[in-house]
Structure 1
Amino acid sequence: MEYVDVSKYDNKLGRKHQVVRLLWTIVWGVFARPLPRSVGSGWKRFLLRAFGAKIDKTAVVYSSAIIYYPANLIMEEYSCISAKVYCYNVDLVRLGANSTVSQGAYLCTASHDITNPLHPLKTAPIIIQDQAWVATDAFIGMNVTIGQGAVVGARSAVFKDVDSWDVVGGNPAKFLKKRIIKE
């Protein structure tokens, strides 16, 4: 068995990234987190934009959500990041129009290369297309696209792309049925 010495790990994100993260954590914690749920959406959008997010004037981010790095966040019209969502966006997270990420979901754009003894960071984006819904407590891994109109069921773990208008569930998430909108 080969010995792994993680003491030699080098955080490739750099000092600037760490400083921005520290400032962002303080700003969100003091000026947004104390607000009730979706109150003050305009103010929260302003704070996110000040740190580089591209966020539509109709998008909603709940106060208890954790956005790791706003500059890697794009939210289109009427998209929503709900309560207690952890958006670990070391890489890009894009929410399409009318998409929702529900309570407690975890969006994870980074991991480590386990084949390398130094475990270097690796990242890839998450794309959630228009009209998609990521339900409560779901986990979405890096390099995943949730297709237009797709639904990721509660407590699901998604590691592969989800086709448009599919409903998936489980761990790992599997196809359950097609989503059909009834008028």
Structure 2
Amino acid sequence: MTTAATARRLRGFTGAGYDKGRGLLTQALWFAVLNLFFVKWWFPPRLRPAVLRAFGARVGDRVLIRHRVRVQWPWKLTIGDDVWVGEDAWLITLEPITIGHDVCVSQGAVLCTGSHQRRSPTFEFDNGPIRLEPGAWVAARAMVLRGVTVGAGAVVGAGAVAHRDVPAGAVHTTGGAR
């Protein structure tokens, strides 16, 4: 079955309803700190949680954040205790991301809270929060999309895309949940 294609008019995009959560000065300061220090290999990992906290993130104890990790807006991020975030992970926090305790977000993983309304001619936002419950694992180069909860002890396997909730204890791979 085919449907009529939506004629895009991106010039009309308004971003209506989206709130970055902080003013332009704070956003600019965060991007400077992120790109000049936070992502660098030489920046001490033990300081990354403190920097996130300074920008409004709620970060637990014994959190390890490796280099080249990008966070869109730290003030929309909550991380529990004993969490690992691997190199090159990207946390796109257009909406809140909540990471429970004992969670591993592996190398190159993407948590993306943003999307667009595909039927909107101006491609307006269709964002939603992400929640990783305690003990979850988002493996290397996996992606968790907006509005998804990864249940306690669940796994999003390497290279998989979680576009729906992953039940507690389930393993979601490129072939689906098991």
TM-score by length of 1: 0.86
2:50 matches 1:46: yes
* Inter-CA distance 28–162: structure 2 relative to 1 (3 Å threshold): same
* Inter-CA distance 163–14: structure 2 relative to 1 (3 Å threshold): closer
Aligned partners of 2:6 and 2:120 also within 8 Å: no
Which structure is higher in strand share? 1
Q: Give the CA deviation at 1:124.
A: 0.6
Gaps of 5+ in 2: none
TM-score by length of 2: 0.88
Q: Give the CA deviation at 1:17.
A: 4.9
Which residue matches 1:174? 176
2:55 matches 1:29: no
2:124 matches 1:120: yes
> Equivalent residue of 1:168, what SS?
strand
Which residue matches 1:132? 136
Q: Give the CA deviation at 1:18.
A: 4.8
Matching residue's letter, 2:112: C
Per-residue CA deviations over 1:2-55 (Å, capped at 9, x if unaligned) read: 64221121234468555433321111222222234xx62332111111111000
Matching residue's letter, 1:107: L
Aligned partners of 1:73 and 1:89 also within 8 Å: yes
Counterpart-to-counterpart distance in 2, 1:169 and 1:2: 31
Counterpart-to-counterpart distance in 1, 2:122 and 2:73: 24
> Equivalent residue of 1:47, what SS?
helix
Q: Give the CA deviation at 1:118.
A: 1.5
Q: Which has the higher contact order (CA 8 A, sep 6+)?
A: 2
Which residue matches 1:68? 72
Which residue matches 1:164? 168
Counterpart-to-counterpart distance in 2, 1:2 and 1:112: 13
Counterpart-to-counterpart distance in 2, 1:42 and 1:135: 22
Question: 5 Å matches for 1:63-102?
Answer: 63-102=67-106
2:61 to 37, 57, 62: 57
Q: How many residues align?
A: 172
Aligned partners of 2:91 and 2:112 also within 8 Å: yes
> Equivalent residue of 1:110, what SS?
coil
Q: Give the CA deviation at 1:161.
A: 0.6
